[in-house]
Structure 1
Amino acid sequence: MEEITEGCAGLKLSLREDAEVEIKVPLTEEGPVLIGKFCTKRRINLESVARVLKSVWKAKHSFEVSDLGENKVMFLFQTTEDMEQVLLLCPWSFDKYLLILHKLVCGEAVKDIRFDKSPFWIQIHGLPTMCQTKEVGESIGATLGEVVKVDANRKGFCLGNFLRIRVLLDISLPLCRGRKVRLGEHGLK
C-alpha cells in the first residue's frame, strides 16, 4: 500500500493539463430557479409532471421544466413571485411521491444539493389556549427541526383549536408520533 501512495505522490499535471479556465459567475444573487427531486426510484414522466404542475401551481407566467436525471428536475420561472408562491405552498407531491424543492442560489451545483429536508405544517393539539403562542411554537418546533414559521397573530397568539408550526423536517428520519410538553414546573402533558 505504501508503494502505491509513494507512486501517486509524484504525479503532477502536465503543462497542457494545468491550464486554468476562468468563468464569470452571474451577477444576480438569486434567480427564479427551483431544483426538485421526486422521492421514488420509479422513473417519473416529465411531460406529465410539466402538464400537471402547470395547472396545479397556477403560476401567473409560464415556467420551463428540464430533466436533470435521477428524478431531479429544474423549474425555470419567469418571475421570482411565481417561484416564491410555489415554495410557500410546499410540500408538493406528484403521483403520491413527495417532491422536494430547493431554491438554487448563485454558484451552487445540483450535484451538491442534499434533498433530505422538506417543510411541513405541524399541528400541536391539547395545549391550554393561553399557551398557544409563537414562543411555545418555536420551542416545540425546534425539537422537530428548523422552525420556518409559527402561525400566530401580531400579538404572538394562535387562538384556535391547535397551534400550527411550519418546520423543515429531515425526511430521512421516521416521523415522530408525539412530544412530551411540561406545563409549568410539575405538570406533564
Structure 2
Amino acid sequence: MADEVINGLENMRLTTEEEEVITISDEGRKEEIESCALNLVGKFLTCKPFNKRAAQNTLRRAWSLEEGVHIIEVGSNLFQFKFSREFDLDRVLNKGPWSFDNQVLMLRRWQPGMTAANVKFDSVALWIQIWGAPFDMSSSEVAAEIGSRLGEVVGVEKRKVREGQNLFMCVKVAVPISKPLRRGGFIGGSNGQRSWVNYKYERLPLFAIFVDSSATT
C-alpha cells in the first residue's frame, strides 16, 4: 500500500505548495510519542472476515488485562495495542504467539514513523522444540545455531545442567511467514556424521504449511 502511494505521487505533477514539507516540532509530537512508546501494532494472519470485538475481548482475557490495555483499530485488520506498563507489553510480546479463532496474531513494537500504510508483518515468533539431537549437541548454543537457519533468533531456553530430563532443545525464532514451516533438518559435526532432528512448534495456531503471502500486506 505504501509503495502504491509513493508510486502514485511520483506520477503526479505536484504544485509548489504541495511540494512544501511541513516540519512538525518535537514539542508538537511529544505527547503522542510518549503515548506510542508502550504500543504494539498487530495483525491477524488471515484473509477471512472475523469478529473484531470478540477478538479484542479474547486477547484481553488471555493477557489478563481487562483494563490494562487499550485496543484501537487503525486499519483493515490492523490494531494498535496501548499498554500502561512496560512489564505487560514485554510479557505479551514474549509469551506469544497469540491467536483468535485459530488465526495467529502478528505483533510488532511501535517505531517512529510507523503508519498504517507502511507497517509490514513478515514473520511470527514461535517457540520451536528440537528433538533427536545427539547428546553431545544438546546445548543452548546448538539450539541458537539451528534456529538461525530457520529465521531470526529471538530467545533460547537455557536448561540447568543438573535437570532431570533433557528430551529436547527449545529456541524462539521469528519465522518468515512467506516460507513453509520446516518439519526438521540434518545437523552434523566436523567428522561428517549427520543426524536428523525433528521440529515441533509450540502453541501453533492455524498456520498453514504454505502461507498465503497476500496476508502480509
What displacement does 1:188 show? Answer: 1.4
Secondary structure of 1:175's aligned partner: coil
Counterpart position of 2:189: 183
Q: Given that residues 152 and 158 in structure 1 are in contact (C-alpha distance below 8 angstroms), is that contact kept between their aligned partners in structure 2?
A: no
Gaps of 5+ in 1: 1-7
Pick from 40, 44, 48 the counterpart of residue 42 of structure 1. Answer: 48
Highest relative contact order (Cα 8 Å, sep 6+), 1 or 2?
Answer: 2
Q: Deviations over 1:29-71 (max 9, x none)?
A: 8711111111112223221122111111013852111112321
* Aligned residue in 2 for 1:82: 88
Give 1:95 deviation, angstroms: 0.7
Instruction: Note the residue ranges of structure 2 that are not aligned, 5 or more in a row.
Output: 1-9, 196-217
8 A contact 1:36–1:74 mirrored in 2 = yes
Give the corresponding residue for 1:101: 107
Alignment: residue pair count: 179
What is the distance in 2 between the residues matched to 1:32 and 1:90? 17
Structure 1 residue 13 corresponds to structure 2 residue 15: yes
User: Contact 1:121–1:165 at 8 Å: present in 2 too?
Assistant: yes
Tell me what 1:54 maps to: 60
Q: Take 1:158 and 1:131, find their aligned partners in 2: how far apart are those partners?
A: 17
Percent of counterpart pairs with the same letter? Answer: 29
- Where in structure 2 are the equivalents of 1:56-71 lying within 5 Å? 56-59=62-65, 61-71=67-77
Partner of 2:151: 145
Q: CA deviation at 1:180?
A: 0.8
Is the 8 Å Cα contact of residues 60 and 66 (structure 2) preserved in structure 1?
no
In the TM superposition, residue 114 of structure 1 has moved relative to its aligned partner by 1.5
SS at match of 1:111: coil
Instruction: State the TM-score, normalized to the length of structure 1.
Output: 0.83
Task: Tell me the distance in 2 between the aligned counterparts of 1:107 and 1:12.
Answer: 23
Secondary structure (helix, strand or coil) at the match of 1:138 reads helix
RMSD after superposition: 2.6
Structure (1 or 2) with the larger CA radius of gyration: 1
Q: 1:158 to 1:86 in 2, by over 3 A?
A: farther
